[in-house]
Amino acid sequence: MARMLAAGSSMMSSCSQKLGAGLWLVLLGLSAAAVPAWTKPDSLKEVTDANWDKILAGEWMIEFYAPWCPACQQLQPVWKDFADWGDDMGINVAKVDVTEQPGLSGRFIITSLPTIYHCKDGVFRRYQGPRTKDDFLAFVDEQKWKTLEPISSWFGPSSFLMNLMSALFKLSMFIRRCHNYMTDSLGIPVWGSYVIFGLVTLFLGLALGLLLVFIADFVFPSRRFSPDYHQKYRNIPTIPLPDEGQEADGEEEDDEDYDGWRRRPGPAEMKPPYADDAVRKRAVGNRQEEEEEDT
């Protein structure tokens, strides 16, 4: 009986040791699996329209992607691996979903996907090299970004022009969502949605034009409504008009002058100023010859 109890106690001790070792391994595996899941969101940052200005300080590598893009889907594992090295290299690695952040899409003029930008203290350069982890690491570690031409300040994301582009992209996305809501949720046909947008655009255009007229009239008022306008033109002396008789006399004189002008000989009919003198001298000479013959 004692032997049986001793054997049972030894079996229980061995089982407890095995159970403790197994429990320790399970806890260790769970902790190892939980640590990467907790650190990955911090290694790969997300930039939105609300916090995009934080990329103006420090060094950043930013990827613009769309979930439906096949090339973006192939790049995601590589970009996550590159993000895990970001803390060691002192660089922030981020991503931007252009379908959820239309303002940033317009601010950076994203025309192809995926698009990668490098930012160093507010100076942006577009990355156009190979898309592997080693190439990304070499681009940052060897400072190959210095060989690229930076984006002009006119087209920088913080410029006035790009702020307008961001607002325009946000407006276009808002219009698209309204169109989808009217056609999908409310059951309005597509042509009906277009008619509604056309009427709204026409009404807004008329209202904006009327507002601009009011503003222009307020800033640059018309001179007719100024207090000294009528007083200024009231002091101008008036020129008396001629009577009807004077007008008639004047018209007759004009007619006479016109007729006299018409009766004047033309250049072909006019004689030279010396023609009459020559004829007179010739007549006098002929008369003197006749008198001499008579004598």
**pLDDT score at 241:** 58
How far from each other are the two terminal CA atoms of the chain, in whole angstroms? 211
pLDDT of the residue at 130: 92
Give the residue, 153 or 124, on which the prediction is more confident: 124
- pLDDT, residue 1, reads 44
pLDDT given at position 67: 92
Q: What pLDDT sits at residue 21? A: 44
Q: Do 71 and 106 form a contact (C-beta atoms < 8 A)? A: no
Highest mean pLDDT among 52-61, 147-156, 174-183, 241-250: 52-61
Q: Is the pLDDT of residue 94 over 90?
A: yes
**Residue 30, pLDDT above cutoff 50:** no
In angstroms, the CA 30 to CA 22 distance is 12
User: Domains of the chain (ranges plus CATH)?
Assistant: 45-160 (3.40.30.10), 173-219 (no CATH)
Query: 57 Cβ partners below 8 Å, 6+ apart?
Result: 121, 122
What confidence score (pLDDT) does residue 256 get?
A: 52
* pLDDT at site 166: 76
HEC letters along 231-256: HHHHCCCCCCCCCHHHHHHHHHHHHH
Q: How high is the mean pLDDT of the chain?
A: 74
**Cα angle for residues 24, 25, 29 (degrees, 5° grid):** 120
pLDDT tens-place string over residues 142-159: 989 999 999 887 888 878
Rounded to 5°, angle at Cα 127 from 124 and 133: 125
Q: Rounded CA gap, 40 and 93, in Å?
A: 11
Residues with catalytic roles: 69, 72
pTM for this predicted structure: 0.54
Strand ranges inside 70-159, DSSP E: 92-97, 115-120, 123-127
